[in-house]
C-alpha cells in the first residue's frame, strides 16, 4: 500500500499545484482537506479529482471536532498549506487569520502529538522576516522574525507554535519559508493574476505607492519541488528558506506583463499605498541548496509566459 499524505488547503493556489505535482511524480496517496473559503475553488481540483490515489474531505482545520473524521488512516506526513493568505484582507480584519493560521495549525500539531501522523511540514512565508532595506543581504533562516502586518504576525505565531512543539515534545516538524509564488490557479486578488487579468480586459491596474516595492518571485512548480525535497530529505526541527532568485519591483513586473500582452502603460494607475507595506523581500536559499540539493529551475520570463497563457485560456472575457 502506498504511503498517505494529509494535505490541507489543497483547493487553493499552491496546495492544488502541489497535489498535481505529487500525483504525477510519486506513488503517494493523498487526502486533501479544505474548508472551501472564498480562496478555495473546486475548479482548482478538477485535474486530479478522479485520481485513484486521491480523496477530498471538506473540513475546517480550526474545528477540532470536524478534523477528527480525517484521521481514519495512518499518515506519513501532514503538509499544512491551509491559511488565510492575503495581506490586504488581514489589514481589514485579522480575526480569520488567527482562526485558521494559528488555531488551525495548533489543531494539526495536536494531531501529530496524538500520533495521527508521523511528521508535519508547515508551509510558511518569507514575510515573517519583515522588510529589507535596498542594500541589505537577503533573509537567512537566522534572520529575526519581524512581522509588519497581521497576516505575517499570524504566520510567525504559527511558526513559533511549530518550533515549540518540536522542542517541547520532540515532534518531527519542519518549517519552509518561501518567497512570492506565481503561476496557474492563483486567486485574482493577488498581484500578478490581477495585473494579467486587468490588462487582458483593458482595465486599470492598481499599483500601490511608488511601485518600487520589491518581491522575490518563484514559479509555483519550483516551490512544489522544494516541498517534495524537504518531505523526503529534510531534517526534523529545521527551517528551510525557498526562493526564486528573481527580485523585481512591482512596476517592473507590470511592464513585463504589459509588454508581453502588447498593452499600453497608461493602464497603470498609482493608488494609495498599502498600510505598513513591506519595502523589499529577498531570500537566501543557500541552505536548502547546499544540504538538500534543490535550486529553482524556472526563469522569471518562462514562468511568467506560462502564467499569462494560463490566465488567457481560463479568465479573459
Q: Which entry of 84, 126, 222, 247 is annotated as an active-site residue?
A: 126
Out of ligand NAD, ligand TDX, none, what residue 39 binds, judged by CB under 5 to 8 A for its kind, is ligand NAD
Judged by CB under 6 A, which of 99, 194, 287, 289 binds ligand TDX? Answer: 194
Active site residue 309: no
Angle between helices 300-315 and 250-261 (to 10 degrees): 60
Q: What does the CA dihedral 112, 142, 281, 285 come to, rounded to 10 degrees?
A: -80
Contact with ligand TDX (CB under 6 A): which of 190, 225, 228, 246?
Answer: 190
76 — phi, psi (to 5°)?
-65, -45
Contact range with ligand TDX by CB under 6 A, out of 67-75, 79-87, 140-148, 284-292: 79-87
The region of 82-90, 99-107, 222-230, 284-292 touching ligand TDX under the rule CB under 6 A is 82-90
CB-based contact 217:300 (threshold 8 Å): yes
Binder to ligand TDX among 127, 159, 216, 247 (CB under 6 A)? 127
- SS3 of 176-206: EEECEEECCCCCCCCHHHHHHHHHHCCCCEE
User: Quick check: is 202 catalytic?
Assistant: no
Burial class, 97, CB count within 10 angstroms (exposed 0-12 / middle 13-18 / buried 19+): buried
- How far the first Cα of the chain sits from its last, in Å, is 45
For ligand TDX, the binding residues in 38-77 under the rule CB under 6 A are none
- Which residues, other chains included, contact 1 with Cβ-Cβ below 8 Å and sequence gap of 6+? none
- Under the criterion CB under 6 A, does residue 8 sit at the interface with ligand TDX? no
Largest CA distance in the chain: 57
Note whether 54 and 29 are within 8 A (CB).
Answer: yes
Considering only the stretches 84-92, 129-137, 233-241, 303-311, report the one whose residues sit in contact with ligand TDX under the rule CB under 6 A: 84-92
**Residue from 32, 62, 80, 85 that binds ligand TDX (CB under 6 A)?**
85
Q: Which of 151, 240, 281, 311 is catalytic?
A: 151
| Cβ nearer to ligand TDX, comparing 8 with 180 | 180
Among residues 259, 22, 254, 61, the alpha carbon closest in space to that of 158 is found at 61
Contact status: 250 vs ligand TDX (CB under 6 A) = yes
Does the annotation count 151 as an active-site position? yes
> Does position 87 bind ligand TDX by CB under 6 A?
yes
Residues classed as catalytic: 126-127, 151
Which residues of the shown chain bind ligand TDX in the complex (CB under 6 A)?
A: 85-87, 125, 127, 180, 190-191, 194, 206-208, 213, 215, 250, 274
Amino acid at each position: 500500500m502506498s504511503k498517505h499524505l494529509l494535505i490541507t488547503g489543497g483547493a487553493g493556489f499552491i496546495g492544488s499545484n502541489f497535489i498535481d505535482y505529487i500525483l504525477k511524480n510519486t506513488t503517494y496517496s493523498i487526502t486533501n482537506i479544505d474548508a472551501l473559503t472564498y480562496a478555495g475553488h473546486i475548479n482548482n481540483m478538477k485535474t486530479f479529482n478522479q485520481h485513484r490515489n486521491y480523496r477530498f474531505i471538506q473540513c475546517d482545520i480550526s474545528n477540532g471536532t470536524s478534523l477528527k473524521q480525517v484521521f481514519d488512516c495512518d499518515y506519513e506526513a501532514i503538509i499544512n498549506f491551509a491559511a488565510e493568505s492575503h495581506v490586504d484582507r488581514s489589514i481589514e480584519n485579522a480575526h480569520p487569520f488567527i482562526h485558521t493560521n494559528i488555531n488551525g495549525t495548533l489543531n494539526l500539531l495536536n494531531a501529530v502529538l496524538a500520533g495521527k501522523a508521523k511528521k508535519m511540514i508547515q508551509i510558511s512565508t518569507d514575510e515573517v522576516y519583515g522588510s529589507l532595506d535596498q542594500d541589505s543581504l537577503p533573509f537567512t533562516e537566522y534572520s529575526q522574525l519581524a512581522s509588519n502586518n497581521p497576516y505575517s504576525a499570524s504566520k510567525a505565531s504559527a511558526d513559533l507554535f511549530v518550533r515549540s512543539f518540536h522542542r517541547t515534545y520532540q515532534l518531527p516538524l519542519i518549517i519552509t519559508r518561501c518567497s512570492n509564488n506565481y503561476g496557474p490557479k492563483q486567486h485574482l486578488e493577488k498581484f500578478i493574476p490581477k495585473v494579467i487579468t486587468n490588462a487582458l480586459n483593458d482595465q486599470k491596474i492598481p499599483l500601490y505607492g511608488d511601485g518600487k516595492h520589491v518581491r522575490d518571485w518563484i514559479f509555483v512548480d519550483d516551490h512544489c519541488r522544494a516541498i517534495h525535497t524537504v518531505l523526503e530529505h529534510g531534517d526534523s526541527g529545521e527551517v528551510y528558506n525557498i526562493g526564486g532568485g528573481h527580485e523585481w519591483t512591482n512596476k517592473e513586473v507590470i511592464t513585463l506583463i504589459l509588454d508581453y500582452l502588447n498593452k499600453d502603460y497608461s493602464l497603470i494607475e498609482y493608488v494609495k499605498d498599502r498600510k505598513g507595506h513591506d519595502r523589499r523581500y529577498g531570500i537566501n536559499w543557500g541552505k536548502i541548496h547546499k544540504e538538500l540539493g534543490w535550486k529553482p529551475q524556472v526563469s522569471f520570463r518562462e514562468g511568467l509566459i506560462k502564467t499569462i497563457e494560463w490566465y488567457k485560456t481560463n479568465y479573459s472575457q
